[in-house]
Amino acid sequence: MALKIACLQLDIAFGNPAENKRRVQQEIVKAAQEKADVIVLPELWTTGYDLKRLDDIADEEGADTKAFVRELARLHRVNIVAGSIAKKTSAGVTNTMYVVNRNGDLVGEYSKLHLFQLMDEHLYLQSGQSSGLFTLEQALCAGMICYDIRFPEWIRIHTAQGAEILFVVAQWPLPRLQHWRTLLQARAIENQCYVVACNRAGKDPNNEFAGHSMVIDPWGDIIAEADENTGALMAEIHLEKVGEVRKQIPIFQDRRPEYYNGVEKNF
């Protein structure tokens, strides 16, 4: 099965959900016109890293965002991996990804497990408590958010259950661009899966971001890579390749999880 992917590498208006929704709607329409099957947004695309104002600008239970992306998906008949947003709950604010299918049905929700202390996430956000698995176009997928890619044991929990596509959404800073590229390729190689990674572009008051959204195949080969500018990165993936690679080098058959400190018993 072939899927045409569009990663929307956006510059995000700091702390301005209304403007960011306007930009996202415009770019989703364009990607749909290009016959994208799956459209991917970056991390915290509604607010950026305006963490100090999240109590005022975070989306209450994610209600507005879910309605917004569900309507766009239904109207344009596209699947949307809706990056992540600041979701306000009674327990605090989470960094949460939503996934909707072509019918506008919510098929996935994942809140970032690993909070990045260098950007003060642990001071303003609550960690998620569930896995990132979801099914899209009959393919088992996993959603990850930025810092999560530095934790291969977390990702392996998902691919050991059969995930074939790893969707990564991020606001990855430019000074660590080489880490971004290397970690994404490593995650594709060691998990023999497609990695679809959508990063943001541009700057906020504290950071400059790397861009370089990427689509990587199960061998670790880069199919498509953006530069540091805004735009839509388009690429086609072929899911049968996952099975071919996993058959050629059967790492999932050869695993010895009984010796891996019980990490997989928690989920």
Kindly state the percentage of the chain with pLDDT values over 90: 95
Catalytic residues: 43, 112, 146
What average pLDDT does the segment 210-233 reach?
98
**pLDDT tens track for 106-131:** 999 999 999 999 999 999 999 999 99
For the chain, domains (ranges, CATH) are 2-255 (3.60.110.10)
Q: Residue 93 — very low, low, confident or very high, per pLDDT cuts 50/70/90? A: very high
Task: Read off the pTM.
Answer: 0.96
DSSP 245-260: HHHHS-HHHH--GGGT
Q: What residue ranges in 101-230 does DSSP mark as E strands?
A: 106-111, 133-136, 139-145, 165-170, 194-199, 214-216, 222-225
Q: Write down the pLDDT at residue 106.
A: 98
Report whether pLDDT(36) > 60.
yes
> N- to C-terminal Cα distance for the chain?
29
Residues 6+ apart with CB under 8 A from 100: 66, 69, 70, 73, 79, 80, 82, 106, 107
* Residue 11 amino acid letter: D
- Give 118: exposed, middle or buried? Use CB within 10 Å, 0-12, 13-18, 19+: exposed
**pLDDT tens track for 44-90:** 999 999 999 999 999 999 999 999 999 999 999 999 999 999 999 99
Q: Write down the pLDDT at residue 262.
A: 59
Q: Residue 260 — very low, low, confident or very high, per pLDDT cuts 50/70/90? A: confident
What average pLDDT does the segment 123-144 reach?
97
**pLDDT tens track for 240-253:** 999 999 999 999 99
